């Protein structure tokens, strides 16, 4: 099963590339999503997943990320099938193949227990997602894809250099070099400190760029702005989880090498800076999808702050990873419906969505409240946990800054969202006859229901998993 979850999506991708019928290619996506979800459930129920002499091993963090991403991917694939069915005129061969290959590569990221194997898989997710960005085939999408591809590839090359540095840290202190996580954690105390520190900085710059932490976030507004909404959901929820998972694993290694405090300082600073940059650019943002991109920058910052704080912050950060990913799914799928109905994503054209698209407008509004951390949604719980971690460790300055930036984002984003949802539907722009349908609304609504549930009740298996991963991070100090 550990191998099938990588191979089956790749095989379906080949099938999609070979199928002559565009309609059947579209129908293949939910098949892939359902198969992936079924295999994920089966893997999560297996106590120990190992293959290839420890190279493939599903650890706690991998289980967490694979689990929620599979749920998000499944609902996104349902939406994508509806979208492609409604737009038979758009060429979809490359898109469907990449859509399926993407989740295969991502599954390998979650399972890889070897830094270089993980690197190969993360690079593969980047390459599989680039053609999806270019779905609309216009000059703006081309520009966004080019920047995404170039910045992403360079970032990932720097991360590879960092991985090699980490292996060299063992060689330099006279041991057998290795890139297996467990061996690195075990050998941690004997690793050469200067190499570990340099490795961490390179890995942080590389994978931090892929996450979209400021100031390495410049690709994000362009990519999320020009990609179809369903691709935005995958990028903001699934793709960015892969480098975060890598940073968590690197954190464990550097922690074992005795350099956790340095890492946490860097993560805390980068996290707060990302939140600040996002807050500034979200005020008076006129483009709905770019606004969501800055929201993603903000939330990557929150994840980074949580790990930077440590203690309860680990738990908060991991829970927030799940909450933010699923909420981004709600927002991007709702934004996709709005974009389709108004043929515009500018706040100048889009007004009164609650009248024109009652369900999508309501989802967008609810998603906004959820993502800005309003109770009773899940992100409230996780953001509160992180804030609590700052207060309980006596870092009142950090806590005040964290809270202040959250409020600022709420106000900035709120002004835009309220303008879009309320008001009289404008006659301007190229209004289409797009209405809310079951296929366009149900996937987002289902995701919102999960986000709402996570706000009031975290299921016991998820809670156990979160505690286990948080404890392993805590033990790395």
Partner 1 sequence: MMPSADLVLVLVLLSNFFLLGSSRLRAIVNGTALQGVLLGALTLLVHHELSLEPILVAVGATAIKAVVIPGMLTRAMREADIRREVEPFIGYVASLLLGAAGTGLAMVYARTLPLAPQHAGSLLVSTSLGTVVTGFLLLTTRRKAITQVAGYLVLENGVFIMGLTLIEAVPFFVEVGVLLDLLVAIFVMGIMLLQISREFASLDTTRLSSLKE
Judged by CB under 8 A, the residue of 2, 164, 277, 421 near partner 1 is 164
Binding mask 350-389 for partner 1 (x = CB under 8 A): ----------------------------------------
- In eight-state DSSP terms, residue 50 is E
The reply on whether position 90 binds partner 1 by CB under 8 A is no
The reply on whether position 17 binds partner 1 by CB under 8 A is no
Q: What is the 3-state secondary structure (H, E, C) of 133-170?
A: HHHHCCHHHHHHHHHHHHHHHHHHHHHHHHHHHHHHHH
The reply on whether position 174 binds partner 1 by CB under 8 A is yes
Binding mask 196-215 for partner 1 (x = CB under 8 A): --x-----------------
348: number of CA atoms within 13 Å, CB side?
4
Only segment of 11-19, 31-39, 63-71, 155-163 that touches partner 1 (CB under 8 A): 155-163
Only segment of 2-10, 175-183, 260-268, 434-442 that touches partner 1 (CB under 8 A): 175-183
Judged by CB under 8 A, the residue of 23, 34, 85, 143 near partner 1 is 143
Binding mask 417-456 for partner 1 (x = CB under 8 A): ----------------------------------------
The C-alpha atoms of residue 273 and residue 398 are separated, in whole angstroms, by: 12
Kindly list the distances between the CA atom of residue 186 and the CA atoms of 252, 316, 386, in Å, as whole numbers in the listed order: 10, 26, 29
**Closest Cα to residue 416, out of 351, 343, 356, 339?**
351
Min separation Cβ 144 and partner 1, Å: 6
Check: CB of residue 31 under 8 Å from CB of residue 103.
no
SS3 346: strand
Only segment of 120-128, 298-306, 310-318, 432-440 that touches partner 1 (CB under 8 A): 120-128
The reply on whether position 161 binds partner 1 by CB under 8 A is yes
The C-alpha atoms of residue 184 and residue 76 are separated, in whole angstroms, by: 36
382-411: b or e for each residue (b if 16 or more CB lie within 10 Å)?
A: bbebbbbbbbeeebeebbebbeebbebbbe
Cβ closest to partner 1, residue 168 vs residue 273:
168
Give the end-to-end CA distance of the chain in Å, rounded to a whole number: 33
Check: CB of residue 122 under 8 Å from CB of residue 155.
no
* Residues at the interface with partner 1 (CB under 8 A): 114, 116-117, 119-120, 123-124, 127, 130-131, 134, 139-140, 142-147, 149-150, 153-154, 157-158, 160-161, 164-165, 167-168, 170-174, 176-179, 192, 194-195, 198, 221-222, 225-226, 281
């Amino acid at each position: 099963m550990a191998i099938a979850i990588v191979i089956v999506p790749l095989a379906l991708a080949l099938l999609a590339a070979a199928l002559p019928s565009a309609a059947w290619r579209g129908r293949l996506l939910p098949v892939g999503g359902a198969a992936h979800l079924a295999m994920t459930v089966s893997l999560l129920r297996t106590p120990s997943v190992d293959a290839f002499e420890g190279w493939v091993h599903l650890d706690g963090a991998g289980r967490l990320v694979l689990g929620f991403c599979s749920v998000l991917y499944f609902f996104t694939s349902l939406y994508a099938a509806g979208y492609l069915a409604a737009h038979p005129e758009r060429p979809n061969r490359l898109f469907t193949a990449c859509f399926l290959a993407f989740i295969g590569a991502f599954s390998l990221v979650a399972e890889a227990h070897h830094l270089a194997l993980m690197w190969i898989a993360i690079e593969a997710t980047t390459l599989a997602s680039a053609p999806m960005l270019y779905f609309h085939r216009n000059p703006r999408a081309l520009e966004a894809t080019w920047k995404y591809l170039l910045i992403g590839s360079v970032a990932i090359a720097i991360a590879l250099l960092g991985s090699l540095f980490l292996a060299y840290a063992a060689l330099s202190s006279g041991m057998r070099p290795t890139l297996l996580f467990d061996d690195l954690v075990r050998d941690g105390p004997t690793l050469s400190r200067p190499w570990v520190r340099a490795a961490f900085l390179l890995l942080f710059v590389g994978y931090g760029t892929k996450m979209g932490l400021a100031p390495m976030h410049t690709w994000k507004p362009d990519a999320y702005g020009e990609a179809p909404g369903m691709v935005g959901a995958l990028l903001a929820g699934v793709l960015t989880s892969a480098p975060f998972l890598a940073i968590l694993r690197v954190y464990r290694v550097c922690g074992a090498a005795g350099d956790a405090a340095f890492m946490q300082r860097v993560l805390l600073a980068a996290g707060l800076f990302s939140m600040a940059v996002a807050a500034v650019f979200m005020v008076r943002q006129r483009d709905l999808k770019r606004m969501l991109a800055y929201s993603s920058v903000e939330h990557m910052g929150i994840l980074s702050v949580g790990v930077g704080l440590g203690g309860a912050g680990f738990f908060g950060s991991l829970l927030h990873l799940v909450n933010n990913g699923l909420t981004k799914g709600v927002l991007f799928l709702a934004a996709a419906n709005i974009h389709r109905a108004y043929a515009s994503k500018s706040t100048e054209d889009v007004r009164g969505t609650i009248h024109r698209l009652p369900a999508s407008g309501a989802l967008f509004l609810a998603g906004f409240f959820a993502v800005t951390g309003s109770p009773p949604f899940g992100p409230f719980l996780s953001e509160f946990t992180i804030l609590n971690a700052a207060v309980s460790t006596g870092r009142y300055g950090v806590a005040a800054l964290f809270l202040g930036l959250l409020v600022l984002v709420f106000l900035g984003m709120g002004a835009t969202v309220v303008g879009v949802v309320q008001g009289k539907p404008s006659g301007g722009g190229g209004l289409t006859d797009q209405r809310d349908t079951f296929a366009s609304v149900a996937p987002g609504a289902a995701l919102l229901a999960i986000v709402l549930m996570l706000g009031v009740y975290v299921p016991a298996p998820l809670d156990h998993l979160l505690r286990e991963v948080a404890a392993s991070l805590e033990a790395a100090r």
